Amino acid sequence: MRRRLLFGERMLLGDGTEPFNAVIPFRLRGTFKEKDIQLALTQLQGKHPWLRALIHHDENHVPWFEVLERNLPIPIRIVHRKGDDDWKEESMKEWQTLFNYTELPLLRFVWIKGEEVSDMLFAFHHCLCDGGSAMSFLNEFLQLLDNPFHDIGLENPILGIQDVVPSEILANRGQQIKAKVIGRLAATAIKCIPVGKKAIERQKDYLVHWKLDKTMSQELISYCKSKQVTVNTFLSTAVLQAFKKVKGEKAFNKVSCPVDIRRFAKQIKEDHIFAFGLMIVVSANQKMSFSENLHLIQESVERKTSKLNPYITMMVMESAHDALKNFTKLLKHGKSSNDCMFSNLGRIQIPHQYKAFTLDTIFSPSVIGPLGNTTTMVASTFRGEMDFSFIGSEGYLPHSEALAIRDEVMETIKQQLEYLPVS
């Protein structure tokens, strides 16, 4: 089984010399054996073909996912657990470790082994899948680790754009012409945008992590309901305000927010291993209060989201493979135009109690790559607690400023919750 990488996947893959890795850390209470972990990972590969795929290039240097007949085990790295923060160090180590994708799968496993508590990490190349896919196979892994006889089914893998874009759209002559015209215009525009000869020096990467307790998390959810805005909108607004307060005139007043393509393209199932994403950008009105901006940004999000069209977007990108080199150069060498990417995974619906162990927590995923500004904040909620991972690099956002932005976000949450009506 093989398929050519889509435009977005090729962009994330790059030339193989720089990692673009994502990490999902989680904490388990219980005792485990390596053979049981390996068995669960092997069964996971049995369901998902692309978890046992390599990447090979054809004679035109185009990369293809290729599943071999023989199974290639997911590598396991075991580390002795010294403390509760070891997962941060190991996450950052996994960010920097290249995938040897011509010989090994695009997924690794790290076991930070303790006597009664273990932290575990899934690390994967971002060209393999997105956070939604990763949460799905994390759920399946935990079920298999608890019960190796659990039936997780078989994935019917996506073999190309034809499995995502409906045939009546893909074969429509008008849509084809539209996609090619937009693709050519975009490719031409990209060529004309001036970029520097050298990329910004990224310098040292870092990870800032914090949680809201259950009470504050629930109060924040209740506040958002009372204001008729989403938690995602609230947090995006808080992030924009925090960057403005910390960076002043150097803030861009722009936060990019990923939108799950599965909301629009129902052909992509929750358990599909797939990496294509959609994006919108939100900004605040500097003359308005926080509360006023909440509603302004909520309206903006709804308006921009309603205009997203994953099918034509994919068709445009697939018509522009020859522009990939210029587009990648623009992302790497162009000036940053947004403050950060903010992604809220929402409530993670994975059980925490199993027969053999307890899932104590899932830390918000982290991702970092070489395509421009690395500043990223990821939020998620598990067992009623909101969790934040703030990823960055000194060359784009100094660590001291990241800490100040975190503090400003927390201060905004606390200030707004003061106005929460007592039910």
Instruction: Give, as one character, the DSSP assignment of residue 5.
Output: P
- Digit-coded pLDDT (tens) for 230-265: 999 999 999 999 999 999 999 999 999 999 888 888
Burial of 337 (0-12, 13-18, 19+ CB in 10 A): exposed
At residue 266, the pLDDT reads 86
Within 6-85, where are the H helices?
Answer: 7-13, 34-47
List the domains of the chain with CATH numbers: 2-146 (3.30.559.10), 201-308+335-417 (3.30.559.30)
**pLDDT-based confidence at residue 333 (cuts at 50, 70, 90):** confident
> Per residue in 164-179, pLDDT tens?
999 999 999 999 999 9
d(CA 110, CA 34) in angstroms, rounded, equals 11
Are 340 and 376 spatial neighbours (Cβ–Cβ below 8 Å)? yes
CA dihedral (344, 345, 349, 353) positive or negative:
negative
Quote the CA–CA distance of 18 and 328 in Å, as a whole number.
13
- pLDDT of the residue at 420: 66
More confident residue, 188 or 80: 80
Instruction: Please tell me the distance from the alpha carbon of residue 366 to that of residue 26, in angstroms, as a whole number.
Output: 12
Token couple for 59: 């004679």
